[in-house]
Amino acid sequence: MREFSRRRVLQTGVASAALSILPRAGWTQEGNGSETHGLSSFGELKYPPDFKHFEYVNPAAPKGGTLAIQIKQTLGNQNFDTFNTLNVFVLKGDGAAGMAGTFDTLMAGSGDEPDALYGLVAKSVRISDDKLTYRFTLRPEARFHDGSRLTAKDAAFSLNILKAKGHPIFTQLLTQMASAEAESDDVLRVQFTPQRSRDLHLVVAGLPILSERYWQGKDFEAATLEAPLGSGPYKVGRFEVGRFIEFDRVPDYWAKDLPVNVGQNNFDRIRYEYFRDRTVAFEAFKNGTLNFHEESTSRTWATGYDFPAVREGRVKKEEIPNTLPAPIQGWYFNTRREMFKDPRIREALGLAFDFEWTNTNIMFGSYRRTTSFFENSDMKAVGRPSSGELALLEPFRDKLPASVFGEPVMPPVSDGSGQDRQLLRRADELLRQAGCKRDGGVLKLPNGQPFVIEFLDFQPSLQPHTQPFQSNLKRLGIDARSRIVDAAQYQQRLNEYDFDITSRALVGSSTPGDSLRTVYGSQAARTQGGQNLAGIEHPAVDALIETIGWAKSRQDLNVACRALDRVLRSGHYWIPMWFKASDWLAYWDQFSRPETKPRFASGAPGTWWYDAEKAKRIGRG
């Protein structure tokens, strides 16, 4: 249940863009530095050097059983519906779920802290006074699955090849890593550029360690169904391409007794099942093919759990509060398309989506409207800009809309009718101001072409929400239609930015930093396979991302994020969807869990374990 690139890869003070090319203020020469057992964004660590295990785990949790689930978050070349390669580090192919569990990292995250990492392969790290040189001391007992020693040469090889040939996510995250080299078998020296971002050391410490010997003579950028040699708590077991993949726990895993692993990795087998249809997937949960399910469909949550196993108590259903920043979910405009370059057109289309009607009639009133790129957090912009925000925004005043300097842009609130005439009239006015013209029932773009929009997706689950929205667009004279393609074609079209509008939910982060560059930065907009789907290219956005990446305190971070939030919201790059501050979980009653939940995660199912007595009681032992 491990993830690369910090705990959340896609979560993500200077006063002007010019400062982004200068060394961080206050950094001095390398000096002797200091040594530490852990890393964080702001130097704060909850656990001391001699901690035995995280407080939210059961150190005596038994091992055994199978966890059968679906992939719920993707990274790199992974997608939700299929896989055809076990190399998840590159752009080519559709990567298999769960591969992160087969690789170790220099350090591992804590669910009790938003951004802390503690020693895994590296038992400690010495940091230079100028924060540009990190020397990781590796544990001599670290081993790959074939018994060979994991050394600093492997760690250096991994960082260098991910930067040179990895998926664009990795290459962009490592831009400010100047070098990685082995000073000895157990000392890895990583050098950063003076422009390094605040969290780059966390990115480096959280990336997978590959075997240099294994990859010699192999094409790193190729798709493959041969499992790359790893060192993590699990190994690839049985799989059928596009259908399922299993991971078997490594009984003699070299790091099983380290504090960061105690009480975790409790299942003997983790199996990921693939389904192209959510209804079929839910039926698989109902019949026990899946034994843990994180529900994401309000209709199913409200009406779908009246089946025998629930009534008999064999399947449990619960809602767990979630205090993390909400997923950044919405319909994203591809502003590389000429028809979306005018922000007035983008704003007009947003007025046609009636969230109030959709929430009441389709989602059982379960959701709240997303209004911010940092929803459900202190990083969300509210009210007029503070003096700190203004200091960051003023250098770009001539390049920003006036709305940035007032109350933050908010999505409209409709009358709930499904076709609010006042909002549609306002949308029509904006379209006309942007040069669009009606020709009978057809709206034509300023270039005279009919306004046609394709909503691209790989599954039909959002169609009940999208179709009423499209009906309102058609009232404006816009030919709005949906295109459902298979998952592989969908990912390829996203990689090539061959779409008009698509939906995406990006994981929120309590401590955004480097990863924002991969989602909103100008370079990412021009990089094939990047995550900047909207194609945002703006100097203010780039500068604010650097400011966020350099923030020296959480207060500075919040100020910079609020400023960025204002700029992004004023750009109308998306039509925000909805969120809820809780997780919907359903599971067959064959698990037990610790009494304590981690502060910044649900703990499910990563800290849970198979309970043989419970399983026997419900007839699944």
Classify residue 256 by its DSSP letter: T
pLDDT digits (tens, 9 = 90+) for 251-307: 999 999 999 999 999 999 999 999 988 899 999 999 999 999 999 999 999 999 999
Q: What is the pLDDT of residue 111?
A: 94
Other CB atoms closer than 10 Å to residue 84's CB: what's the count?
Answer: 16
Is a pLDDT exceeding 60 seen at residue 502? yes
Residue 335 has pLDDT above 90, yes or no: yes
Spatial separation of the C-alpha atoms in residues 528 and 41, rounded to whole Å = 29
Note the pLDDT of residue 498: 98
Among 358, 328, 336, smallest CA distance to 472 is for: 358
Residues whose CB is less than 8 angstroms from the CB of residue 528 and which lie 6 or more positions away in sequence, other chains included: 91, 168, 495, 496, 497
261, 235 contact by CB (below 8 A): no
Work out the mean pLDDT of the chain and round it to a whole number: 93
pLDDT per residue over 136-156, tens digit each?
A: 999 999 999 999 999 999 999
Q: Mean per-residue pLDDT for 456-469?
A: 95
Cα–Cα distance, 251 to 255 (Å, whole number): 11
Cβ-based neighbours of 152, under 8 Å, separated by 6 or more: 136, 138, 182, 183, 184, 185, 186, 187, 188
Structure confidence at residue 30 as a pLDDT band (50, 70, 90): very low
Tell me the DSSP string of 39-73: E-SSS--SS-TT--S-TTS-TTPPP--EEEE---S
Orientation angle between helical segments 343-351 and 421-433, nearest 10 degrees: 170
> Is the per-residue pLDDT at 6 higher than 90?
no
Supply the pLDDT for residue 19. Answer: 22
Kindly report which listed range (231-245, 309-323, 448-462, 504-518) carries the lowest average pLDDT score: 504-518
pLDDT of the residue at 584: 96
Q: Decide if pLDDT at 501 tops 80.
A: yes
What are the tens digits of pLDDT across the range 86-145?
Answer: 999 999 999 999 999 999 999 999 999 999 999 999 999 999 999 999 999 999 999 999
How many angstroms separate the CA atoms of 557 and 430, rounded? 35
Region class of 75: left (phi > 0), else alpha (psi between -120 and 50), else beta = beta
Q: Is the pLDDT of residue 10 over 50?
A: no
- Cβ neighbors of 583 (< 8 A, separation 6 or more) are 294, 319, 320, 322, 602, 604
Query: Which pLDDT belongs to residue 32?
Result: 65
Task: Find tokens 């699955």 and name the residue.
Answer: 145
| pLDDT reading at 3 higher than 60 | no
Least confidently predicted of 74-78, 122-126, 340-344: 74-78
Q: What is the mean pLDDT of residues 540-564?
A: 96
pLDDT in tens, 369-421: 999 999 999 999 999 999 999 999 999 999 999 999 999 999 999 999 999 99
pTM, two decimals, is 0.85
pLDDT at 15 over 60: no
Q: Which two tokens stand for residue 178?
A: 């100047």
Average pLDDT for residues 363-367, to the nearest whole number? 96
User: pLDDT class for 33, splitting at 50, 70, 90?
Assistant: confident
* pLDDT score, position 324: 86
Pairing between strand 479-484 and 452-457?
Answer: parallel
Query: Which residue in 572, 558, 581 sits closest to 410, CA to CA?
Result: 572
**Structure confidence at residue 302 (pLDDT):** 95
Query: Which region, left, alpha or beta, applies to residue 64 given φ > 0 means left and ψ of -120 to 50 means alpha?
Result: left
- Residues 553-571 have a mean pLDDT of 97
Is 349:534 a contact under the CB 8 Å cutoff? Answer: no
> How far apart are the C-alpha atoms of 1 and 261, rounded to whole Å?
11
Q: For residue 513, what pLDDT is reported?
A: 87
The C-alpha atoms of residue 207 and residue 103 are separated, in whole angstroms, by 9
Contacts of 568 (CB under 8 A, 6+ apart): 373, 520, 536, 541
Instruction: Please choose, from the candidates 52, 34, 62, the residue with its C-alpha nearest in 3D space to the C-alpha of residue 608.
Output: 62
* pLDDT score of 216 more than 50: yes
Q: Is 417 exposed, middle or buried, given 0-12, 13-18 or 19+ CB atoms closer than 10 A?
A: exposed
How many C-beta atoms lie closer than 10 Å to residue 58's C-beta?
19
- Residue 93, SS3 per DSSP: coil
Rounded CA-CA distance 48/117 in Å is 12
204 with 175: CB under 8 angstroms? no
Q: Other C-beta atoms within 10 Å of 580: how many?
A: 17
For the residues of 324-341, what is the DSSP string, one character each? Answer: SPPPEEEEEE-TTSGGG-
